[in-house]
Amino acid sequence: MSEQTEHVSCLIIGSGPAGYTAAIYAARAELKPVMYQGLQPGGQLTITTEVENFPGYPEGVQGPEMMVQLQQQAERFGTQVRYGLATKVDFTGPVHKVWIDDEKLITADTVIVSTGASAKWLGLPSEQRLNGFGVSACAVCDGFFYRGQDVAIVGAGDTAAEEATYLAKLCTKVYMLVRKSEMKASKAMQTRVLNTPNIEVLFDTETDEVIGEKTVEAVRVKNSKTGTMRDLKVTGFFVAIGHEPNTGIFKGWLDMDETGYLKVVPGTTKTNIPGVFAAGDCADKVYRQAVTAAGTGCMAALDAERYLAAKGH
């Protein structure tokens, strides 16, 4: 089978708020961007129900609906949005090579990487079934819906500790479920958690089951030392055991930290390869919000436009 090849000026890999915003800006700058949506068209927001913290939606918006609107806006200015997964790259030359679904080769003058990150889950069927109906991987996004209620959060690192203290400001009671007999979080964060009166830290505790028909009603936990089970009456269950950036195919090409987040020149979206830019959660392990991802998508398109202009395109 002969390989299909196509050349584009600006290739966008990934389709969350970062990718779509990059597409809107790149299309308006006449870069004729081509976007491949990846495994999860619309990104993490498609598994979110209500989004209330994105500016411009006073009544809030459903995550999937917002992604459809962003796609329509990108297409309105001429972005070609396509199904397909980038499976391999070769960034040796001035023209960048990206293979889609192992069969089609795209050569591109500029590449915007907006492949996002995926939340790590515990792997319980009940957790997946109730995802978006009481189960969440983002306390900052969803904590607001649990004001005055009791919730549980699982995790032991700085993010979990930070999210637990955030939830404690909104919720009546926060159970923090820690698998081992100590937290991994920094001493300062641990002190903050232990000094917050409405957070109860349960050490040596594993999640056995999330209970509820249509929404979360309780979480069944097991003490790993004694083997005893108990049900915690909660309406929200937050998973804060980390995120994994979707950057595997760029290993060996783009500089990344030890966990796989892409490194960019501070204040820009430039990677170590000229003409390749990174936006959104694949390069951001600190904020991880739709609005910050959109902001870096805008930056990436402007960086790509300036790069092409300097090359005389």
The b/e string for 254-288 (b: 16+ C-beta within 10 A; e otherwise) is bebeeebbbebeeeebbbebebbbbbbbbbbbeeb
Write out the DSSP string of 196-212: -TTEEEESSEEEEEEE-
Q: Which residues pair with 229 in a beta bridge?
A: 222
Q: Which amino acid is at 156?
A: A
Q: Which among 10, 109, 142, 171 is annotated as catalytic?
A: 142
Long-range residue pairs from 266-269, CB within 8 A, at least 24 positions apart, any chain: 268/299, 268/303, 269/112, 269/296, 269/299, 269/300, 269/303
Q: Which residues pair with 222 in a beta bridge?
A: 206, 229
Q: Which among 10, 101, 109, 141 is annotated as catalytic?
A: 141
Q: Which among 10, 109, 138, 281 is annotated as catalytic?
A: 138
How many CB atoms within 10 Å of residue 98? 23
Active site residue 171: no
**Enzyme catalytic residues:** 138, 141-142
